[in-house]
Amino acid sequence: MLIEAQEREESRIAVLSEGVLEELYIERSSQTQTLGNIYKGRVVNVEPALQAAFVNIGLEKNAFLHASDILLDRAGQIPLLGVEPTTGEVRRQDSIDIERALRPNQEILVQVTREPVGNKGPSVTTDISLPGRFLVLMPGSSHIGVSRKIVDETERERLKKLIHQIEIPANVGCIVRTAAEGITKRDLIHDLRYLTKLWEATVPTIKSQPAPCLVYQESDLVTRTIRDLFSPEIEEVLVDSEEVHDKARDFFMAIQPGYARRLKLYKGNVPLFHKYRVEEQIELAYKRRIYLPSGGSIVIDQTEAMATIDVNSGRLTEEQDPEELAFRTNIEAVPEIARQIRLRDLGGLIVIDFIDMRTAEHRRKVEGAMLSALRRDRTRTRALRMSAFCLVQITRQKIGPGLRGAIFQRCPSCDGTGYVKRLESTAHFALRRIAFALNRKGLEALEVRAFPTVALYLLNERRTRLAELENQYGKRVTIIADSSLRPDAVEFYSAAPDGQKTLLWGPSSSEH
């Protein structure tokens, strides 16, 4: 695990396996992180048609609370945990009357499950939980269980016995996390005490502060990444900042002192990510096409709601069997697809288009390999069986903008489509608009501003047509190169003799 924190404005954490980048996390000081925070909010309005409510939690945008994320007590109410007594365990119900459960101006306790994205506010739930190193504490619940990702039945039974031997406070549930594999009862008790004190410290704020207010703030990137990702399999944790190293050491000593010696301060002159060749691997994570060792490739395209991943084969020779080539390429693509999903933090619906395979055995093997590779993902995922067309559909919990949203902004030229008009198309559009504008009553002269390449094309390649239009309407047309415009944007101004100009059409005008 490499922790790069020299730049205070941005922290990055990379997890490598045999030199290959497996996971990447980025956090900037300029961006407010809300994921995992607990707020005392106030219901603004309830929308029965959406089966949802909007909650003011003190942020710029109101939070979105769907009915499926609401937990009710036996009386069918949402208790303000820590303040109001609960009528038995709070739990999800198959169907709820959202207008009965919530009312405008009601104070409720919510936790952010997804960061704000674009114009959308954060998504929240009333299912409150506090994650520790080995346990997740769930106030208001009485459920005791073990993470489904622990698949070894012997270990599951051992952990179940341990957690049931521990005295857990009333109206508090616990889930044993995946990181608890192999730990002792003493470790669980230590984690439970820490989480219980943490929750008890939030109760006075819930009771005393008016809504909206922040009740609990999730740990910083370094602390929560070590908490959630560190395992005995990680042989070394390198930090390039002495301040962050000391903070991480204190956290290790608090949760797992036996592993504190694996934490080391990096003092090399070469930047940490360059030293371990992480930077070049990060650059690949931005690419649309990723090449496989055999010569095949995967192509990743993203939209707001879904992502598509297309598997392409390498060069096919006459000696190769197409079915065997398709199977081997698909199997080779599986771990890379799973890695790219984690690296890019793809969320929502993901459709993987594998190379067509005729035999059911090959389809089942690729499908099984994909499911196995997804088990490494900490984010909640669900996959359907491979279809006859060799498509696999996956839903992955969307909790943030992903790597692309964290690094890039929408292109002002193409508005995120990846395409702009060709030079010729833009010029033809300009000529048609010039003809339309010259026919306008009261127009004495027209000024056209375009990107330099478009302006030069009009003046050189379409000079004859411009002259024809000027002669036809008896009005002057001036073409001006403007490098501040988009490559396919053209602005049209009415030019008066006194030098005054009025925008007729352009990218920002409502008539365009």
CATH number at residue 75: 2.40.50.140
pLDDT of amino acid 364: 95
pLDDT of amino acid 512: 37
Flag whether 343 is in a domain.
yes
The last residue of a domain, from among 255, 279, 303: 279
Closest CA to 370 of 399, 402, 341: 341
Helices first, then strands: H and E counts in the chain: 13, 25
Flag whether 413 is in a domain.
no
pLDDT over threshold 80, residue 412: no
The last residue of a domain, from among 257, 279, 301: 279
Shared domain check, 321 and 172:
no
Q: Coil, strand or helix: which one is 16?
A: strand
Taking residues 203-228, report their average pLDDT.
90
Shared domain check, 258 and 184:
no
pLDDT of amino acid 338: 94
Flag whether 511 is in a domain.
no
Residues pairing with 174 in the sheet: 137, 144
What pLDDT, in 10s, does the model give residues 336-390?
A: 999 999 988 888 899 999 999 999 999 999 999 999 999 888 888 999 999 999 9
Flag whether 430 is in a domain.
yes
Shared domain check, 203 and 135:
yes
- Our CA angle for 105, 110, 113, nearest 5°, is 135
Shared domain check, 297 and 366:
yes
Strand order in the sheet with 306-312: 289-291, 297-302, 306-312, 348-353, 391-396, 381-383
pLDDT of amino acid 510: 42
Taking residues 472-492, report their average pLDDT.
92
Per-residue confidence band for 189, with pLDDT thresholds at 50, 70 and 90: very high
Taking residues 179-185, report their average pLDDT.
88
The last residue of a domain, from among 239, 254, 279: 279
DSSP 170: T
Indicate the pTM of the whole model.
Answer: 0.75
Per-residue confidence band for 455, with pLDDT thresholds at 50, 70 and 90: very high
Shared domain check, 128 and 167:
yes
Residues pairing with 123 in the sheet: 64, 114
Shared domain check, 328 and 373:
yes
Could you give the maximum distance between any two Cα atoms of the chain, in Å? 95
pLDDT of amino acid 275: 92
Shared domain check, 306 and 262:
no
Over the chain, what is the mean pLDDT?
A: 88
pLDDT over threshold 80, residue 109: yes
If one counts the domains in the chain, the total is: 4
What pLDDT, in 10s, does the model give residues 387-404?
A: 999 999 999 987 766 666
Quote the CA–CA distance of 486 and 298 in Å, as a whole number: 31
Taking residues 460-484, report their average pLDDT.
93
Structure tokens at 484: 């501040």
pLDDT over threshold 50, residue 511: no
Per-residue confidence band for 87, with pLDDT thresholds at 50, 70 and 90: low
Terminal Cα distance for the chain, rounded = 52
Highest mean pLDDT, choosing among 5-9, 23-27, 260-264? 260-264
Taking residues 441-448, report their average pLDDT.
90
Look up tokens 């994909």; give the residue.
370
Shared domain check, 330 and 235:
no
3-state secondary structure 391-458: EEEEEECCCCCHHHHHHCCCCCCCCCCCCCCCHHHHHHHHHHHHHHHHCCCCCCEEEEEECHHHHHHH
Flag whether 415 is in a domain.
no
Choice between 95 and 22, residue whose per-residue pLDDT is larger: 22
Shared domain check, 480 and 359:
no
Shared domain check, 165 and 198:
yes
Domain of 444, CATH number, reads 3.40.1260.20
Flag whether 293 is in a domain.
yes
Shared domain check, 299 and 273:
no
The residue segments making up the domain with residue 246 are 2-32+220-279
pLDDT of amino acid 497: 73
CA distances from 512 to 450, 455, 482 (A): 15, 19, 18
pLDDT over threshold 50, residue 123: yes
pLDDT of amino acid 255: 80
Per-residue confidence band for 305, with pLDDT thresholds at 50, 70 and 90: confident
Query: Of the given ranges (7-11, 401-405, 445-449, 480-484), which has the lowest mean pLDDT?
Result: 401-405
What percent of the chain is modeled with pLDDT above 70?
94
pLDDT of amino acid 451: 94
pLDDT over threshold 60, residue 112: yes
Closest CA to 69 of 117, 32, 122, 105: 122
pLDDT over threshold 70, residue 84: no
Helix axes 463-473, 423-438, angle to 10 degrees: 10
Flag whether 417 is in a domain.
no
pLDDT over threshold 90, residue 332: yes
What pLDDT, in 10s, does the model give residues 125-162?
A: 999 999 998 999 999 888 899 998 888 899 999 999 99
pLDDT of amino acid 179: 86
Flag whether 162 is in a domain.
yes
What pLDDT, in 10s, does the model give residues 39-82?
A: 999 999 999 999 999 999 999 899 999 998 998 877 777 877 77
Shared domain check, 386 and 266:
no
pLDDT of amino acid 380: 86
The number of angstroms, rounded, from the C-alpha of 420 to the middle of its chain's C-alpha atoms is 26
pLDDT over threshold 70, residue 508: no
